[in-house]
Amino acid sequence: MSEWLHRAFDIAVSLAAIIALLPLFPVLALLIKVTSPGPVLFKQMRVGRNGVLFPCLKFRSMVTNSQEVLERLLANDAEARAEWARDQKLRHDPRITWIGNFLRRSSLDELPQLFNILAGQMSIVGPRPILPTEVVRYGSRIADYCGVRPGLTGLWQVNGRNDLPYPTRVRLDAFYSFRKSVIYDFGICLRTIPALLGRKGSY
């Protein structure tokens, strides 16, 4: 019953959000297209429930040769290399485009993940979808991560986002897997609104 309620909640919320935000999608797509060459959407394989990989969707916020730019930066900048090794994030990321910076700070880049939710690959609430290369960093807690669907929002987002140390993110993901319920998810959704407006840890 709990699984059925979660799925019903995911479908209802994601479908309502898609309908409400539908006029925004072409506007964002046009802004991305005219300010940076390349595709509008960015698709990357992420680790889903039971360890199954799925194509996670985002509005593209980086240059098309982002991997090359990252490798060059890490090879020549020891400080950036240490930050990347520690957090898998960069506060001043040269790969991010002008419009991409706005999309990330407002979290609008993640709107296409509403379709991942409709497809059953993600949930409204859950751990953020990780890359296959991040699995090793979860250690024994990877089983907790894989026990639920990744989420559009979650404990990580409402507790500081990118400002959190990586081990804390792992701990919050594991904690969520034990506390998961529709009521708990609804509470996290309510806390997401001020977190988005405050933009703390968004980069």
* 154 contacts 176 by C-beta, under 8 angstroms: yes
Q: Identify the CA nearest to 202 among candidates 130, 127, 117, 106.
A: 106
Tens-digit pLDDT profile for residues 105-147? 888 999 999 999 999 999 999 999 999 999 999 999 999 999 9
For the ranges 62-66, 78-82, 142-146, 173-177, the one whose mean pLDDT is highest: 142-146
Alpha helices in 22-87 (DSSP H): 24-35, 66-76, 78-87
Q: What is the mean pLDDT of residues 13-18?
A: 94
Confidence of residue 74 (pLDDT cuts 50, 70, 90): confident
Task: Report pTM.
Answer: 0.87
Contact 120, 199 (CB under 8 A): no
The pLDDT tens digits of the residues spanning 27-65 come to 999 999 999 889 999 999 999 999 999 999 999 999 988
